[in-house]
Amino acid sequence: MRRLAIPALAAGAYSRVRGRAIVSLAGNHDSLREGTTLGIIVATAIWVWLAVVDAVAGQPFHTFATLGGIVVFTIVHYLLNIVYGVVIVSAVHGAAREPSVALALVFGLVTFEIALAMLTVLLSHLGLGELAWVRIFGGSLVGAAVALFVLSRRHPLAAQLRHADHRHDAT
């Protein structure tokens, strides 16, 4: 078990020892394994979201057909989400070593969501219509929420972000 010592930041959930909050990273943390698992979980959540929205709209698998067909879309979608998962988990592990990476991670995720909003506008004019916002951007938000939930179950994300912000304010 790895232990990460972070200067105390009013993190009541963590044990305090000599003015430092101790955050335990339980188990073996392998970025590739954890990232692949995260990517598959997020990809599945988004895939199901798209299928449900298409079915409710009365256009089963319309999004998949518009974006290259069910098989091509699924393969590309899962591969991109696995890459996304590995990058996110690697950044979270990096934030355990260097807290400023946590701020960069938040900035990167916000930037990524803005890019997906721009992609949604483009796709709304290229065949997905008005429901592109619900399909693409809604799926992106579902994916981000699922990723945050899964990551928060194994990593002290809030404590890392508070620590990074505290270090940033101190400089």
Contact, 163 vs 43, CB < 8 A?
no
**How high does pLDDT run on average in the chain?**
81
Domain annotation covers residue 149: yes
Q: Average pLDDT for residues 58-77, to the nearest whole number?
A: 94
Q: Which domain holds residue 40?
A: 30-170
Please tell me the predicted confidence (pLDDT) of residue 171.
Answer: 64
Please tell me the predicted confidence (pLDDT) of residue 137.
Answer: 87
Please choose, from the candidates 32, 12, 31, 34, the residue with its C-alpha nearest in 3D space to the C-alpha of residue 23.
Answer: 12
Quote the percentage of the chain above a pLDDT of 90: 47
Domain annotation covers residue 162: yes
> Over 80: is that where the pLDDT of 153 sits?
yes
Q: Average pLDDT for residues 49-58, to the nearest whole number?
A: 96
Q: Which residues are CB-contacts of 80 (< 8 A; sequence separation ≥ 6)?
A: 43
* Bridge partners, residue 52, by sequence: none
Domain annotation covers residue 65: yes
Contact, 22 vs 5, CB < 8 A?
yes
Q: How many angstroms separate the CA atoms of 29 and 41, rounded?
A: 17
pTM: 0.74
Q: How many domains does the chain have?
A: 1
Q: Which residues are CB-contacts of 54 (< 8 A; sequence separation ≥ 6)?
A: 60, 61, 62, 63, 64, 135
Please tell me the predicted confidence (pLDDT) of residue 29.
Answer: 74
Q: Where are the beta strands (DSSP E) in 98-167?
A: none
Domain annotation covers residue 1: no
pLDDT tens figures, 23-47: 445 456 789 999 999 999 999 999 9
- Between the alpha carbon of residue 105 and those of residues 16, 125, 171, the distances in Å are 26, 31, 19
Q: How many angstroms separate the CA atoms of 84 and 45, rounded?
A: 14
pLDDT tens figures, 79-132: 999 999 999 999 988 887 887 888 888 899 899 989 989 988 998 888 888 888
Please tell me the predicted confidence (pLDDT) of residue 130.
Answer: 85
> Over 60: is that where the pLDDT of 68 sits?
yes
* Bridge partners, residue 23, by sequence: 4
Domain annotation covers residue 21: no
